[in-house]
């Protein structure tokens, strides 16, 4: 152990303190050499982390919290929620020290904001490394939460206009042929005078379309944060669970359509909430209520920005996409669907976007109509047009199919629905982690998603509802938090969104969702979409080399999901075999029986990718499948 340097007043200097702390943690039993550096204690100014150091809540804010049952969003006294900056996670612009500030810091060089990501993917041509991933030190600000602005300060800032999408090399094998068509893609042809474009998606490079969809948000100053070049290895270090081993092998998480893994930033944010902010919200004249309310309402604002909503009042927190669709069915649906009315869904839907409508049409004597898909798994638009009529009240479709990965033309679907006088619900559960969404550009009346599929905790999800539509809807559950006034004769309800959030919600996990959104916006959904597209192409090519493997769902527009069956094996057998090699895939009907049956199956194997997956991981899976295929060949002979 080196001896720290004392400075003149007898105290240790910052770097020495950091060095001591790191040595201490590194020496703790169970820590691998090099592991255990204190979060951000590399060599940076030791600001005191005590919440007591926070300025007290302004009386006004605490009073506001006490006065009303309404979500008055009191402002906590200098509450400083964390947004940890790890070695792999560049800070958003608001957190990157301005040049002057950085220069003023004695430790700025060692601090924190890492250099841009290396623009390269794993060496996919080299032998696959199945060595354990070593936990990586994550330098950052000491007491990272002190480096953050308050929750409310994270309101949309005026940000630079979005950079145009470009074909960026990730070093994928076989990527060269992708560059040419990408470069030659025409700019968007938006529909004129209410006419839906004949072909709204000009390519299967969906992330380019996503870039277009962001334009309206950008015009309101909601452009995403600038972000550095994408480096998958750096991203992976943000997800501690990716260092797990399963059956002695490094975990390969290809079950992202079921749920995604959580970055350290989200894990830390939850811990911070319970350590410094935990309280019920919207009530009580005390500091923690103010902090928790700030954090919760700040998360709502982040979701609004993330979806391109025009106001955070259009964002309702629910448990997940399933609860969100049930909310719409029971509130809007019960009030607006009558006997003989029609609800249109697609054949691709998850059960969550079928069953609530089945229940509603049964109750009301209405009818459920289904848009079929072609043999690639894409919606048949001509058939859809034929289903619309003056009885159509609602069109409810997924933006991305969880079973096949098909990206559906939701903007065109919504436009046609509106022309028929119907409302539109978009199930974005599989979309939000892969492509940028703008609910205004999509003209969605409702948009739902689940936090856990976008790197946030389970048990939290979102319903976006167009303000006018929400205003007209009755509550679907009754209780505290959603009322203005109650007597034994009547209840007067809050306005949206509080009207739809009866009782104590999932406060901490909503805050975690806000942190997840911060995280992916730092990386940039355009980078994510672009990387995942190349990875999907790579994986698809690999799967095609496996004898006896049949891909289910081959639409030109796809996001991160593959489905297949393998001759001679039940899907569960393939899933189990892959599991023995540390590879997690889903095998089953994926809660989407109608679409799986459309392809003559009861179940498929479904590897689903995220931006932390690599070509090397894909290679491991393809090899395992080749082994299975060859064993099956031997069994048959
Ligand atoms: C397309 C789609 N919709 C809805 C859901 C339901 O999501 P949750 O179970 O999180 O409510 C899922 C979950 O897989 C899904 O993939």
Q: Which two tokens stand for residue 473?
A: 């809807």
Three-point CA angle 582, 599, 325, nearest 5°: 80
Cα–Cα dist 507/151, whole Å:
14
More confident residue, 294 or 117: 294
Number of neighbouring beta carbons within 10 Å of residue 420 = 18
Does residue 398 line the site of ligand 1, with CB under 6 A? yes
Contact, 30 vs 96, CB < 8 A?
no
Instruction: Quote the strand ranges of 296-418, DSSP E.
Output: 315-318, 342-346, 367-371, 392-398
Q: State the closest ligand 1 atom to the C-alpha of 349, by its place in the atom list counted from 1.
A: 1
More confident residue, 399 or 282: 399
Q: State the closest ligand 1 atom to the C-alpha of 458, by its place in the atom list counted from 1.
A: 10
pLDDT at residue 113 above 50? no
77-101 pLDDT, tens digit each? 544 444 433 333 333 333 322 222 2
Q: State the closest ligand 1 atom to the C-alpha of 319, by its place in the atom list counted from 1.
A: 11
**Ligand 1 centroid distance, CA of 402 (Å):** 8
Q: Ligand 1, atom 12: nearest CA belongs to which residue?
A: 429
Q: What is the pLDDT of residue 227?
A: 62
Q: What DSSP assignment string belongs to 44-95?
A: -------GGGSPPPPHHHHHHHHH-SS---PPPSS--------TTSPPPGGG
Q: Which two tokens stand for residue 206?
A: 């969906």
376-387 pLDDT, tens digit each? 999 999 999 999
Share of the chain above pLDDT 70, in %: 63
Cα–Cα dist 49/36, whole Å:
19
Does residue 373 line the site of ligand 1, with CB under 6 A? no
Three-point CA angle 155, 159, 161, nearest 5°: 140
Does residue 79 line the site of ligand 1, with CB under 6 A? no
Cα–Cα dist 56/79, whole Å:
9
Q: What are the beta bridge partners of residue 492?
A: 485
Three-point CA angle 461, 466, 468, nearest 5°: 135
Q: What is the pLDDT of residue 62?
A: 36
Per the annotation, the verdict on 591 as an active-site residue is: yes
Arithmetic mean of pLDDT, 404-424 = 98
Q: Which of 322, 325, 428, 553 to mutate to test the pocket of ligand 1 (most atoms within 8 A of CB)?
A: 322
Q: Which residues contact 286 (CB under 8 A, 6 or more apart)?
A: 57, 62, 65, 279
The least confident of 24-28, 279-283, 383-387, 509-513 is 24-28
More confident residue, 246 or 92: 246
Q: Could you tell me the CA-to-CA distances from 575 to 186, 618, 623 in Å, in that order?
A: 41, 15, 14
Pairing of strands 392-398, 342-346: parallel
Does residue 426 line the site of ligand 1, with CB under 6 A? no
Q: State the closest ligand 1 atom to the C-alpha of 320, by its place in the atom list counted from 1.
A: 11
Q: What is the pLDDT of residue 480?
A: 95
CA torsion through residues 293, 298, 301, 306, sign? negative
Cα 490 → chain centroid:
40
Q: State the closest ligand 1 atom to the C-alpha of 258, by its place in the atom list counted from 1.
A: 14
Q: Which of 323, 328, 402 to mutate to test the pocket of ligand 1 (most atoms within 8 A of CB)?
A: 402
Q: What is the pLDDT of residue 116?
A: 29
The least confident of 66-75, 296-305, 384-393, 539-548 is 66-75
Number of neighbouring beta carbons within 10 Å of residue 482 = 23
Q: Please give the model's pTM, rounded to 2 decimal places.
A: 0.72
Does residue 438 line the site of ligand 1, with CB under 6 A? no
Cα–Cα dist 415/198, whole Å:
12
Please give the torsion angle defined by the CA atoms of residues 314, 357, 415 and 450, in that order, rounded to the nearest 10 degrees: 40
**Ligand 1 centroid distance, CA of 318 (Å):** 13
Does residue 606 line the site of ligand 1, with CB under 6 A? no
Q: What DSSP assignment string belongs to 596-634?
A: HHHTT-S-EEE-B--TT--HHHHHHHHHHHHHHHHHHHH
The least confident of 47-51, 109-113, 222-226 is 109-113
The least confident of 235-249, 390-404, 592-606, 623-637 is 623-637
Arithmetic mean of pLDDT, 95-123 = 27
**Ligand 1 centroid distance, CA of 427 (Å):** 8
Q: What is the pLDDT of residue 229?
A: 80
Does residue 321 line the site of ligand 1, with CB under 6 A? yes
Instruction: Quote the strand ranges of 454-497, DSSP E.
Output: 461-465, 483-486, 491-493
User: Can you list the pairs that 163-169 forms with residues at least 24 positions away whose Cβ atoms lie under 8 Å?
Assistant: 163/226, 164/211, 165/207, 165/208, 165/211, 165/526, 165/530, 168/119, 168/229, 168/230, 168/527, 168/530, 169/119
Q: Ligand 1, atom 16: nearest CA belongs to which residue?
A: 402
Of the residues 266, 498, 510, 591, only one is catalytic, namely 591
The least confident of 74-83, 200-209, 253-262 is 200-209
More confident residue, 238 or 99: 238
More confident residue, 109 or 397: 397
Q: In which band, very low, low, confident or very high, does the pLDDT at 395 lie, cut at 50, 70 and 90?
A: very high
Cα–Cα dist 1/21, whole Å:
11
Q: What is the pLDDT of residue 172?
A: 54
Q: Which two tokens stand for residue 42?
A: 């590399």
Q: What is the 3-state secondary structure (H, E, C) of 591-604?
A: CCHHHHHHCCCCCE
Give the closest residue to 557 by CA, choosing from 586, 596, 529, 585: 529
Arithmetic mean of pLDDT, 399-412 = 98
Give me the chain's average pLDDT, please. Answer: 75
Dihedrals phi, psi of 292, to nearest 5 degrees: -65, -40
Q: Ligand 1, atom 14: nearest CA belongs to which residue?
A: 258
Does residue 609 line the site of ligand 1, with CB under 6 A? no
Q: What DSSP assignment string belongs to 23-38?
A: HHHHTSTTPPTT----
Q: Which of 350, 446, 506, 594 to mutate to test the pocket of ligand 1 (most atoms within 8 A of CB)?
A: 350
Q: Which of 398, 429, 610 to mutate to test the pocket of ligand 1 (most atoms within 8 A of CB)?
A: 429
**Ligand 1 centroid distance, CA of 458 (Å):** 12
Share of the chain above pLDDT 90, in %: 62
pLDDT at residue 220 above 80? no
**Ligand 1 centroid distance, CA of 587 (Å):** 16
Q: State the closest ligand 1 atom to the C-alpha of 453, by its place in the atom list counted from 1.
A: 10
13-69 pLDDT, tens digit each? 444 444 444 444 344 333 333 333 323 223 233 333 333 333 333 333 333 333 334
Give the closest residue to 426 by CA, choosing from 473, 368, 465: 465
Q: Is 371 helix (H, G, I), strand (E, B) or coil?
A: strand
Q: What are the beta bridge partners of residue 425?
A: 396, 446
Arithmetic mean of pLDDT, 168-194 = 39
**Ligand 1 centroid distance, CA of 450 (Å):** 7
More confident residue, 279 or 37: 279
pLDDT at residue 112 above 60? no
The least confident of 117-131, 200-214, 376-390 is 117-131
Q: In which band, very low, low, confident or very high, does the pLDDT at 633 lie, cut at 50, 70 and 90?
A: low
**Ligand 1 centroid distance, CA of 293 (Å):** 28
pLDDT at residue 285 above 80? yes
Q: In which band, very low, low, confident or very high, does the pLDDT at 430 lie, cut at 50, 70 and 90?
A: very high
Dihedrals phi, psi of 463, to nearest 5 degrees: -115, 120
**Ligand 1 centroid distance, CA of 385 (Å):** 26
445-466 pLDDT, tens digit each? 999 999 999 999 999 999 999 9
**Ligand 1 centroid distance, CA of 258 (Å):** 8
pLDDT at residue 470 above 60? yes
In terms of Cβ atoms closer than 10 Å to its own Cβ (0-12, 13-18, 19+), residue 397 is buried
């Amino acid at each position: 152990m080196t001896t720290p340097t004392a400075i003149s007043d007898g105290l240790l200097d910052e770097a020495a303190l950091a060095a001591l702390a790191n040595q201490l943690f590194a020496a703790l039993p169970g820590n691998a050499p090099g592991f255990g550096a204190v979060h951000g204690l590399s060599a940076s100014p030791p600001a005191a982390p005590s919440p007591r150091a926070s300025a007290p809540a302004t009386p006004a804010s605490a009073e506001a919290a006490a006065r009303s049952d309404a979500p008055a969003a009191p402002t906590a006294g200098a509450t400083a929620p964390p947004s940890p900056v790890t070695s792999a996670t560049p800070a958003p612009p608001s957190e990157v020290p301005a040049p002057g500030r950085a220069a003023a810091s004695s430790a700025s060089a060692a601090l924190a904001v890492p250099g841009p990501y290396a623009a390269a993917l794993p060496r996919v041509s080299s032998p696959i490394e199945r060595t354990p991933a070593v936990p990586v030190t994550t330098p950052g600000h000491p007491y990272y939460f002190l480096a953050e602005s308050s929750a409310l300060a994270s309101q949309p800032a005026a940000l630079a206009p979005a950079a145009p999408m470009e074909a960026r090399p990730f070093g994928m094998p076989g990527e060269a042929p992708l560059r040419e068509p990408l470069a030659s893609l025409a700019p968007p042809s938006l529909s004129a005078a209410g006419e839906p474009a004949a072909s709204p998606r000009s390519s299967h490079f969906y992330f380019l379309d996503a870039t277009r969809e962001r334009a309206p948000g950008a015009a309101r100053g909601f452009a995403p944060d600038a972000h550095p070049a994408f480096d998958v290895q750096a991203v992976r270090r943000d997800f501690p669970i990716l260092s797990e081993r399963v059956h002695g092998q490094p975990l390969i998480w290809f079950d992202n359509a079921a749920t995604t893994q959580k970055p350290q930033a989200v894990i830390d944010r939850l811990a911070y909430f319970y350590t410094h902010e935990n309280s019920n919200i919207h009530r009580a004249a005390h500091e923690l209520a103010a902090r928790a309310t700030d954090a919760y309402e700040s998360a709502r604002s982040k979701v609004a920005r993330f979806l391109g909503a025009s106001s955070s009042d259009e964002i309702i927190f629910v448990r997940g996409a399933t609860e969100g669709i049930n909310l719409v069915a029971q509130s809007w649906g019960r009030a607006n669907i009558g006997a003989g009315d029609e609800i249109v869904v697609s054949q691709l839907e998850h059960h969550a976007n079928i069953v609530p409508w089945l229940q509603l049409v049964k109750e009301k004597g209405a009818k459920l109509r289904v848009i079929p898909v072609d043999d690639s798994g894409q919606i048949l638009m001509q058939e859809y047009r034929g289903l619309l009529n003056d009885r159509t009240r609602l069109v409810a479709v997924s933006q991305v199919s969880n079973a096949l990965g098909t990206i559906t033309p939701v903007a065109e679907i919504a436009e046609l629905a509106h022309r028929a006088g119907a409302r539109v619900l978009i199930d974005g559960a599989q979309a939000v982690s892969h492509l940028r969404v703008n609910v205004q550009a999509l003209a969605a009346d409702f948009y739902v998603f689940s936090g856990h599929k976008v790197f946030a905790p389970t048990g939290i999800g979102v319903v976006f509802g167009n303000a006018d539509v929400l205003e007209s809807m009755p509550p679907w559950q009754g209780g505290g938090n959603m009322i203005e006034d109650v007597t034994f004769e009547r209840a007067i309800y809050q306005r949206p969104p509080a009207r739809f959030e009866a009782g104590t919600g999932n406060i901490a996990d909503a805050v975690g969702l806000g942190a997840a959104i911060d995280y992916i916006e730092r990386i940039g959904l355009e980078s994510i979409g672009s990387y995942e597209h190349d990875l999907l192409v790579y994986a698809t090519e690999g799967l095609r080399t496996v004898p006896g493997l049949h891909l289910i769902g081959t639409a030109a527009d796809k996001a991160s999901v593959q489905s297949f069956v393998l001759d001679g094996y039940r899907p569960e057998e393939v899933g189990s075999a892959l599991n023995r090699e540390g590879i997690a895939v889903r095998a089953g009907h994926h809660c989407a029986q109608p679409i799986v049956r459309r392809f003559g199956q009861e179940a498929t194997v479904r590897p689903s990718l995220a931006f932390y997956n690599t070509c090397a991981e894909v290679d491991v899976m393809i090899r395992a499948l080749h082994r299975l295929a060859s064993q099956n060949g031997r069994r048959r002979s």
